[in-house]
Structure 1
């Protein structure tokens, strides 16, 4: 079920299940997981995107393996607050996942999430460009998911 309000995700999340954060890019899907208490987001992996049907099969495997009960998709809203073609692509992904899985799905405005993570990786972790490229998508997914977890805590 696709939720209009992200705050509703908690009431639809099965007990003992995690949330998965997704940073959907055109070439990759950055993934992160919450802990069971819905307090901390941790980067998981970056999936290289292929065909949607193959991506969905791999996501299903990960849902089972990590006891995922709900999804948070980063929504790349424009700086002026409008939704462009990239948002339509994310919403299409959500529709495809909704058709296949009985999971609550919510969206989180991801404006500047990748830029914020890049700054952290450069300034605090002092990672090279090559090393940053390997972790930025899953770190951005964790950043997005942590935003939701923090909002749910209040």
Structure 2
């Protein structure tokens, strides 16, 4: 069965989540440390192949007034490159407040600050993907 990939693209890291084969539940997989666009694409290609991914959901950071700011533009540029390399359907998901929600959940779960830093992107990617899955 094909799965759906969820990404939280940041300047330094990319949080990665993947759906279960039925497309119901999102699960955090890894955090990619960004070194170069070439390496980012190589790692994503490996994950897409490993999990038999048919679609990618990318969190698009928007301003509260629904406009696209500098960070949103970086994500759009990244998605453009991804489309060329991966040749796969890519969906943009409004990700306003996902990192905030992810942080709150980790704090509520008593996760220490150092540990939160390591997993926040993966958890945010899980939120982005789960939001998409729930809406389908």
Query: Could you say whether these structures have the same fold, taking a TM-score greater than 0.5 normalized by the shorter chain as the test?
Result: yes
2:34 aligned partner = 49
1:93 alignment partner in structure 2? 78
In structure 2, the partner of 1:150 is 134
Deviation at 1:18, TM superposition (A): 0.5
Runs of 4+ with >6 A deviation: none
What does residue 120 of structure 2 align with? Answer: 136
Whole-Å separation in 1 of the counterparts to 2:14 and 2:83: 17
Please show how residues 64-143 of structure 1 align to structure 2 within 5 Å.
64-123=49-108, 125-143=109-127
Provide the secondary structure at the position in 2 that maps to 1:50. Answer: coil
DSSP 3-state at the match of 1:94: helix
Q: 1:110: how far off?
A: 0.4
Find the residue that maps to 1:111 and give its secondary structure: coil
**How far apart are the structure 1 equivalents of 2:26 and 2:117?**
20
C-alpha distance in 2 between matches for 1:131 and 1:51: 25
Q: Mark the runs of 5 or more structure 1 residues left unpaired by the alignment.
A: 1-15
TM-score normalised by the chain length of structure 1: 0.86
Alpha-carbon RMSD across the aligned residues, in angstroms, is: 0.7
C-alpha deviation, 1:36, in angstroms: 1.1
- Provide TM-score, normalisation by structure 2: 0.97
- Counting matched residue pairs gives 136
